[in-house]
Amino acid sequence: MQLVRRGQAPAFELIYERHSQAAFSLAYRMAGSRGVAEDVVQEAFLNIWRSGARYERSRGSVRTWLLGIVHHRAIDALRRSFVHEKRRASDEGLEETLETGERTDAEAARHEEAAAVRSALQGLPPEQSQVIELAYFGGFTHTEIAEMLETPVGTVKGRMRLGLEKMRHALGQGEVSLG
């Protein structure tokens, strides 16, 4: 990241090569549209290129930091352009998921991590996994979720916290590496 901060395009390209697929996959999962996902990733990476100095190692790995930026950008896009509705109506989807045979070793390792996190998420009580999915991947605010589920806001916030606590416990037992 120091080289990126100094304006070294090859160093930035390396960051892009390492993390762009995870970034695009997250944006696509949230937006449900390749076009919106491309815009989110483009804006996120250019933001990173222009503000590499803001990365703090103490806040986690480059990947975690970068995906956090993509997540915030995708939420902005969702809340700004009503992509929520488009996503529900989207016919794009699993046909674009990489087939097993196309995976590299790194992708295979990531696949194992993904399975562990999905298992932790699916192991939650449905009402907890539901609010986490709606918030993190849907980009909905806690008040929107409360209206959607006809549930008090305090209950929704409580489910979010409880769900994260249980996920943390499950991931700790599985020792999933998130670097």
Partner 1 sequence: MSTPGPDHAEWADAVGAYLLGALNSEEHAGFEAHLAHCPLCSRDVAELRVAADALPVSVPLVKLPEALKDRIMSVVRSEAELLSAAGSRADVPAEPPARAAAGRGRRSLAAWFMRPAVAFACALLLLAGGGLAGVLLSGGEDTRTVVAETAAPGADVRLVIGEDGATLVARDMPAPPRGRIYQVWLQRPGSDPVPTAALWSVRSDGTAEVAVPGSLDGVEAVLVTDEPQGGSEAPTKPPVITASPA
- Chain residues 64-83 in contact with partner 1, contact rule CB under 8 A: 64, 67-68, 70-72, 75
- As a three-state string, the secondary structure of 123-166 is CCCHHHHHHHHHHHHCCCCHHHHHHHHCCCHHHHHHHHHHHHHH
Among 1, 49, 84, 86, indicate the residue that binds partner 1 (CB under 8 A). 49
The residues, ordered by sequence, that sit 6+ positions from 6 with a Cβ below 8 Å of its Cβ are none
The reply to whether 148 sits near partner 1 by the rule CB under 8 A is: no
- d(CA 49, CA 46) in angstroms, rounded, equals 5
CB of 173 to partner 1, least distance (A): 12
Binding mask 104-123 for partner 1 (x = CB under 8 A): ---x--xx-xx--xx-xx--
Of 2 and 118, CB closest to partner 1: 118
Of 25 and 87, CB closest to partner 1: 25
Classify residue 150 as left (phi > 0), alpha (psi -120 to 50) or beta.
Answer: left
- d(CA 23, CA 71) in angstroms, rounded, equals 9
Among 2, 9, 125, 173, indicate the residue that binds partner 1 (CB under 8 A). 9
Among 2, 143, 147, 173, indicate the residue that binds partner 1 (CB under 8 A). 143
Among 12, 31, 52, 83, indicate the residue that binds partner 1 (CB under 8 A). 12
Among 142, 148, 149, 151, indicate the residue that binds partner 1 (CB under 8 A). 142
Q: Output the CA–CA distances (angstroms, integers) from residue 76 to 61, 71, 72, 119, 163, in the order listed.
A: 23, 9, 6, 28, 24
- d(CA 78, CA 30) in angstroms, rounded, equals 8
The reply to whether 43 sits near partner 1 by the rule CB under 8 A is: yes
The reply to whether 52 sits near partner 1 by the rule CB under 8 A is: no
